[in-house]
A and B are shown apart, each in its own frame.
Chain A
Amino acid sequence: MTDSSTMLSTVQAIAAALKDKPGALLPILHGVQDALGYIPSDSVPVIAKALNLSRAEVHGVISFYHYFRETPPGKQTIHLCRAESCQSMGSKQLEGHVKAKLGIDYHETTADGAFSLEPVYCLGNCACSPALQIGADIYGRVSPELFDELIANTEAAA
């Protein structure tokens, strides 16, 4: 089987399992992104058919929500908090350091495919600002030095 047909059969299985839930589109999109890391454009017609929606409607929903992505992410996605509480504790400086260290801006992936960088507007860790998330792990009171350490550990573990 080709990669593309594997992908489509994954999407079909997720859509078939969830399509009868009331308001099934978001659960299906989450399922696809959890399984594949992103929502490939080829999956849109499959999801649309399962829910009897137009492709435009499905695309509209995907593009509305910041969390859903239409391109493959790096091995790890870093979510850096940009909200007020983190700003009060120097997240602007941290942001500058992170971008320089990785050599990418928000919504980009490093050339080696190791990291993607996304902004996030609050991780609910506001008493331990500044905060960020690497993969599923959340970190508080992140200094530039701690960030370098976290990145080194992540790369060593990869």
Chain B
Amino acid sequence: MSKTIYVPCDSSAVSLGADRVAKAIQAEAEKRGIDIQLIRNGSRGMFWLEPLVEVATDKGRIAYGPVQTADVASLFDADFTNGGDHALSLGLTEEFDYLKKQQRLTFARIGITDPVSLDDYLANDGYRGLDNALAMSPADVVKHVTDSGLRGRGGAAFPTGIKWNTVLNTPSEQKYIICNADEGDSGTFSDRMVMEGDPFVLIEGMTIAGLAVGATQAYIYLRVEYPHALVALNAAIDKATAAGYLGDNILGSGKAFHLEVRLGAGAYICGEETSLMESLEGKRGLVRFKPPLPAISGLFGKPTVVNNVISLASVPIILDKGGEYYRDFGMGRSRGTLPIQLAGNIKHGGLVELAFGLTLRELLYDFGGGSATGRPIKAVQVGGPLGAYLPESQFDTPLDYEAFAANWTVLGHGGVVVFDDTADLAAMARYSMEFCALESCGKCTPCRIGSTRGMELMDDIIEGRDLDKNVPLLRSLCDTLLNGSLCALGGMTPYPVLSALNHFPQDFGIDHQADIA
């Protein structure tokens, strides 16, 4: 009987050799006359074990990892296609603590199915949300999303249902759905994992959004740095179209929904929704004034829903199981689950999807296992390059939008980048200013020019020049950026800069807290 073997196609797994391992397994099986079916699944999100090879057995999937091509022959010698013991044996995948402790709603299928198999998707609860949505009125679909408490997972955390409701109630002959897949934040990869590991869930979520607000055309604005995601999305779109899930008449409902992937071109600012729409229109990605809100006048001046990948990929389960089911996870006003990305200097980096409420400390040590280097964790940047650096004293903050905001920190898109005690936070603050200068669209003066002045100021501070003058000047500059920028790039660059200064003054050559007031 044919044995089913899984080798992830996720680009992080590929970056560690998964393609070569898959080829070697195929070749070795042929050489030995063993009949195998090799499936390229998504990643389970345990990247210290990638490439993670799994074998289907009667007891469940048995995992081996991290597997390199040199291990393949010995795996066959150990009869791994029947779950045989080997030095790389990890046991049943389902029994891994890292996975068992998670609450995977949005990531339910990722790592389990063949990402571009529509049959796999349907056999694992796929398109049940769309079936329900087709039987409802648009207002009821929106109500489920509103009731779920889902807030924008791109970082701004705006209630998704309220945004959809505005578009639903804005009359127009043409409306658009845009998926913001310009996941530019360092330390984040959950969007990428969804697009590579379960593209149909995003397509389904976007289709439901289209039905809910009356939009017939949609775009996925994908960053050019994600070539594997592009291939997976286009393959899934083709299959969904061929099977009648996309096109002029979705599942015979008489409703149309068309979807196209568009590539960005390496501009971080195009993750900002108005800049993204300018880019989609074929222009420089200059940030627009708001109002008008995109929900009223967005792409090509039409009412437009712009949602992050994770927001849209969370919609199918909400429509499948109901808004209340999703809302019952989480704490306070942060409902549902957040796919957290553990990155940087961390032993067990990967994807952890959990209800809101876990503390950062639990995440860093219970899941992450401490730093990769084994040294003490000095600081953690949460929420991407515009997120604050948190010192150890803030590690007990629960993952909750409001609890983070109360600390002058942000949860953002859920990226957690860990630094050990060799990190120099003054150098990181300088980098934040440099990044802002590189990526500024140029519309607002504080961001366009202030970032370059900030970089020069940081150079002076790092050199120890006139700290008593330059540190207050840096604070004043940050105040100008914070209050004088249209969007989060200029408006939030002060978060990493000032948090680094406030929590790690010694890195700035300042001995006493009093000196930095």
Q: State the CA gap A14–B244 with chains docked (Å).
A: 30
The residues in A between 91 and 145 inclusive whose CB is less than 8 angstroms from any CB of B are 120-129, 131, 133, 136-141
Residues of A near B282 (CB, < 8 A) are 23-26, 51, 61
Check B439 against A124 for contact (C-beta < 8 Å): no
Check B428 against A87 for contact (C-beta < 8 Å): yes
Q: State the CA gap A22–B301 with chains docked (Å).
A: 13
Determine whether A45 belongs to the interface, using a CB cutoff of 8 Å to chain B. Answer: no
Determine whether A89 belongs to the interface, using a CB cutoff of 8 Å to chain B. Answer: yes
Residues of A near B420 (CB, < 8 A) are 88
Q: State the CA gap A64–B264 with chains docked (Å).
A: 12
0/1 interface trace, chain B 368-383, chain A, CB 8 Å (1 if under):
0000100000000100
Say which residue of A65, A124, A141 sits within 8 Å of B226 (CB atoms).
A124
Residues of A near B184 (CB, < 8 A) are 121-122
Check B281 against A122 for contact (C-beta < 8 Å): no
Query: Which of B94-102, B105-113, B336-344, B508-516 lines the interface with chain A?
Result: B336-344
Q: Among A25, A61, A64, find the residue whose CB has the most chain B CB atoms closer than 10 A.
A: A64
Q: State the CA gap A22–B489 with chains docked (Å).
A: 28
The residues in B between 259 and 290 inclusive whose CB is less than 8 angstroms from any CB of A are 262-268, 279-285
Residues of B near A24 (CB, < 8 A) are 282
Residues of A near B381 (CB, < 8 A) are 84
Check A129 against B268 for contact (C-beta < 8 Å): no
Q: State the CA gap A141–B349 with chains docked (Å).
A: 12
Query: Which of B10-18, B457-465, B468-476 lines the interface with chain A?
Result: B10-18
What's the nearest-Cβ distance from chain B to residue A154, in Å? 15
Given A127-B342, A131-B15, answer yes or no on A85-B265 (Cβ-Cβ < 8 Å). no
Check B225 against A123 for contact (C-beta < 8 Å): yes
Closest to B373 in A: A89
Residues of A near B262 (CB, < 8 A) are 23, 26-27
Interface size on A, residues (CB 8 A): 43
Check B349 against A128 for contact (C-beta < 8 Å): yes
Say which residue of B15, B226, B265, B419 sits within 8 Å of A67 (CB atoms).
B265
Determine whether B431 belongs to the interface, using a CB cutoff of 8 Å to chain A. Answer: yes
Check A88 against B15 for contact (C-beta < 8 Å): no
Residues of B near A64 (CB, < 8 A) are 267, 284-285, 441
Check A26 against B423 for contact (C-beta < 8 Å): no
Q: State the CA gap A112–B146 with chains docked (Å).
A: 59
Q: State the CA gap A113–B444 with chains docked (Å).
A: 39
Q: State the CA gap A128–B66 with chains docked (Å).
A: 13
Determine whether A83 belongs to the interface, using a CB cutoff of 8 Å to chain B. Answer: yes
Q: State the CA gap A137–B349 with chains docked (Å).
A: 21
The residues in A between 55 and 77 inclusive whose CB is less than 8 angstroms from any CB of B are 57, 60-61, 64-68
Determine whether B224 belongs to the interface, using a CB cutoff of 8 Å to chain A. Answer: yes
Check B345 against A126 for contact (C-beta < 8 Å): no
Residues of A near B423 (CB, < 8 A) are 88
The residues in B between 389 and 446 inclusive whose CB is less than 8 angstroms from any CB of A are 415, 417-420, 423, 428, 431, 435, 438-439, 441
Given A83-B385, A84-B431, answer yes or no on A140-B15 (Cβ-Cβ < 8 Å). yes
Given A87-B428, A122-B184, A124-B226, answer yes or no on A29-B16 (Cβ-Cβ < 8 Å). no
Check A61 against B284 for contact (C-beta < 8 Å): yes
Residues of B near A127 (CB, < 8 A) are 12, 47-48, 189, 341-343, 346, 349-350
Chain B: interface size category: 35 or more
Given A26-B279, A120-B266, answer yes or no on A88-B345 (Cβ-Cβ < 8 Å). yes
The residues in A between 16 and 58 inclusive whose CB is less than 8 angstroms from any CB of B are 22-27, 29-30, 51, 57
Residues of A near B281 (CB, < 8 A) are 22-23
What's the nearest-Cβ distance from chain A to residue B265, in Å? 4
Say which residue of B15, B16, B265 sits within 8 Å of A26 (CB atoms).
B265
What's the nearest-Cβ distance from chain A to residue B412, in Å? 13
Check A124 against B344 for contact (C-beta < 8 Å): no
Q: State the CA gap A137–B345 with chains docked (Å).
A: 23
Closest to A57 in B: B283
Check B417 against A85 for contact (C-beta < 8 Å): yes
What's the nearest-Cβ distance from chain B to residue A94, in Å? 14
What's the nearest-Cβ distance from chain A to residue B495, in Å? 13
Residues of A near B48 (CB, < 8 A) are 127
Check B418 against A88 for contact (C-beta < 8 Å): yes
Residues of B near A129 (CB, < 8 A) are 343-345
Given A26-B262, A61-B283, answer yes or no on A89-B187 (Cβ-Cβ < 8 Å). no
Determine whether B186 belongs to the interface, using a CB cutoff of 8 Å to chain A. Answer: yes
Given A26-B279, A85-B187, A122-B186, answer yes or no on A128-B431 (Cβ-Cβ < 8 Å). no
Q: State the CA gap A65–B372 with chains docked (Å).
A: 35
Residues of A near B268 (CB, < 8 A) are 121
Residues of B near A138 (CB, < 8 A) are 11, 14-15
Q: List 27 A-B contacts (CB under 8 A).
A: A23-B280, A23-B282, A26-B262, A26-B265, A26-B280, A26-B282, A29-B265, A60-B284, A64-B267, A65-B285, A84-B417, A85-B415, A88-B344, A88-B345, A121-B385, A122-B188, A122-B225, A124-B226, A125-B189, A126-B344, A127-B48, A127-B189, A127-B350, A128-B16, A137-B14, A140-B15, A141-B16
16 further contact pairs, Cβ within 8 A, besides A26-B265, A30-B263: A22-B281, A25-B282, A29-B265, A65-B264, A65-B265, A67-B264, A86-B186, A88-B420, A122-B186, A124-B11, A124-B12, A124-B183, A125-B12, A126-B188, A126-B349, A128-B16
